Structure formats: structure tokens, C-alpha cells
Amino acid sequence: MKMNSSKNRMGKAYQLFFGTLANETRLTLINTLRQKPLNVTQICENTGFEQSLVSHHLKMLEYHGMVFKKEQGKFRYYTVNEKTIKPLLEFIDAHMKEYCCKILAGKR
């Protein structure tokens, strides 16, 4: 019984993790922040998203440990989690280039 509970918990954790990344707005924010730390105004300028939308999704990303914020003066700068998310995205990039981009181009 204990093993099923642990498996169930991990399954829900996977859903939580991939569900967070599956949102197009959050994915755009993460990819924007991969370049360098940015504040909300800069993120809005880079993405064209409204401030309230960006703030809402950054809160979710921060809650799930995918981005972190650092206060500098009156600004909060957001960065991608360098320890876990950034390396994971690099693996995903390699996979997408090898498979997904070829599928989209009709070459697979």
C-alpha cells in the first residue's frame, strides 16, 4: 500500500511539473528569462504581455521553484532556476531539435 501511495504522489508531482510548463505564457516567460535576469517591466517589453498577466504567471513559476526573484533596490529581478530548470531546458532543446523540429518540418 505504501508503494502505491508513493507512486501516486510522484504521478501527481509529474502532472504538477509538466502542467506548469505546458502553459504557453509560462513557457514564454521561462524562455525569456533564460537569456538574463529581468524585471517585470523588461519582461513585458520583451514579450508584449500585460503586466498583470506576467506577474500572475511569475508567481506560479516562483511557487513551483522554476524561477527565483531577487530584489535590487525598488526592482525585483527574475531568473530561471539555474540548478534544475535551466539544465533541463537544455536537454529538452536537444530533444526538440532531434525529433520535434523534424516532425514539424515533415521530415520524420
Q: Write the CATH number for 18.
A: 1.10.10.10
Domain count, the chain: 1
| Residue pLDDT tens, the chain, 108 long | 455 788 899 999 999 999 999 999 999 999 999 999 999 999 999 999 999 999 999 999 999 999 999 999 999 999 999 999 999 999 999 999 999 999 999 998
In a domain, 33, yes or no: yes
Name every residue whose Cβ is closer than 8 Å to that of residue 53 and which is 6 or more positions away in sequence: 25
Asked if residue 25 lies in contact with residue 58, where contact means CB atoms within 8 angstroms, the answer is no
In a domain, 75, yes or no: yes
Name every residue whose Cβ is closer than 8 Å to that of residue 75 and which is 6 or more positions away in sequence: 39
In a domain, 26, yes or no: yes
- Tell me what pLDDT residue 1 has: 46
d(CA 1, CA 53): 42
Instruction: Kindly report the pTM of this predicted structure.
Output: 0.89
In a domain, 10, yes or no: yes
In a domain, 97, yes or no: no
Structural domain for 43, as ranges: 2-81
